[in-house]
A = this chain, B = another copy of it.
């Protein structure tokens, strides 16, 4: 069995001045781990020849595989291709297959093809071309002293296509890879320290080749077990046994034993009851709807939302009483109760969630400071409300409100598990 280690190098000034967030690396790391290749380091560097050159040399001292993304575009700041050509001692030549592919893309888009685009078909004569079905810049594979260097464009869907079509199969063929098994569960309502104390005896008794990690995020803590071994069957059995023990220990706080989001759990529970839900969102402004509808197949259980940002929308579309809005304010138990009732009756679903709050940075008052939130969840027969006080920035307050609201609905759906909704 080969113990293969990978490094990821992402190239682009935009990563070092903070203009874009690197989402590629996380996806690549996931895919590599899944086939048994550990990523020990990731490096991000700018569009600077000397720094890229040195980074490549550094990573090749310890890594068996170096995956590079970025710097392959058609513009002057894209220097990865000539640099790699020089590094591996080749020269740039037109690749006819790539040229035809680029021409076909421009023909399909009905756009004129310029010299700059034609250059995308130049590749170092010392590499193997990895066809980029989804764009004009091809992937490139270089080999040196038994190590592999693979260059891909930084455009996420192009990189993902090349990884799936070429890189992952190629790595699996080339190496005899070990088995890495991850199992994760999600808890809500307790902190990381409390959980750690709660499971301390079990954690300390874990064998050395099984590791536990705590991943706290937005009012939830995900726990991840990772086991490494030679033989897939044995590793899976071992990790399953430990995972069952862990799940039993944290049962009171357990949301799911799958690697799925809170929104996915809610949709799954709805499907089990063949039930439907809707939302009435004020302060989250459509974010709960977005979390649900980001998931393929969500239309089965999720029917829609009234994003009632303005009070007139609360009155006109959800039937909230203007006198109560005046007397208690939009952020009140009275109003979220009317909002959730309005969602149930107007959108005609079995369940509904309503939220109203002050997300900041402005809009707070001494009685209702920024972070004050009311949530109501309801079925035909029951309404549950709760008041929260978050203390974070607008983005995080929105995310926390969505998470806590969905968790309240999850519990309500579970509590009605027996009844046909």
Chain A positions within 8 Å of B, measured between CB atoms, are 13-23, 25-31, 33, 38-48, 51, 55, 58, 73-77, 111, 114, 116-117, 134, 155-157, 182, 184, 191-194, 196-197, 203, 211-217, 222, 224, 226, 276, 278-279, 281, 284-290, 292-294, 296-299, 302-310, 312-313, 316-317, 346-348, 360-362, 391-396, 398
Contact = CB atoms under 8 A, between A and B. Distances in A.
Nearest to A51: B40
Given A42-B44, A73-B192, A294-B394, 17 more contacts: A17-B30, A19-B26, A21-B22, A22-B22, A42-B43, A74-B193, A75-B196, A75-B214, A117-B193, A281-B286, A289-B307, A289-B309, A297-B362, A303-B312, A305-B306, A310-B347, A317-B347
Contact of A214 (B77, B279, B306): B77
10 contacts: A16-B29, A21-B22, A42-B44, A114-B197, A117-B193, A134-B391, A289-B289, A289-B290, A289-B309, A304-B313
A387 B317 CA distance: 29
Contacts of A194: 111, 114
Given A116-B193, A214-B75, A294-B395, A40 B19 contact: no
Nearest to A276: B310
A308 B77 CA distance: 44
Contact of A17 (B114, B226, B398): B226
A40 B16 CA distance: 7
Nearest to A16: B39
Contacts of A294: 285, 394-395, 398
Given A286-B288, A299-B310, A348-B316, A224 B304 contact: no
Q: What's the dominant secondary structure at chain A's contact region?
A: mixed
Contacts of A398: 293-294
Contacts of A193: 74-75, 114, 116-117
B13 A116 contact: no
B29 A17 contact: yes
A281 B303 CA distance: 12
Copy tally for this chain in the complex stands at 2
B296 A285 contact: no
Contacts of A55: 41
A33 B17 contact: yes
Nearest to A283: B293
A51 B44 contact: no
A134 B391 CA distance: 9
Given A41-B51, A75-B214, A294-B398, A17 B307 contact: no
A364 B192 CA distance: 43
B303 A309 contact: yes
A73 B214 CA distance: 9
B18 A21 contact: no
Contact of A203 (B76, B285, B347): B76
Nearest to A116: B193
A211 B77 contact: yes
Contacts of A182: 17
Contacts of A47: 213
A396 B304 CA distance: 21
Given A13-B211, A296-B360, A74 B192 contact: yes
A51 B391 CA distance: 36
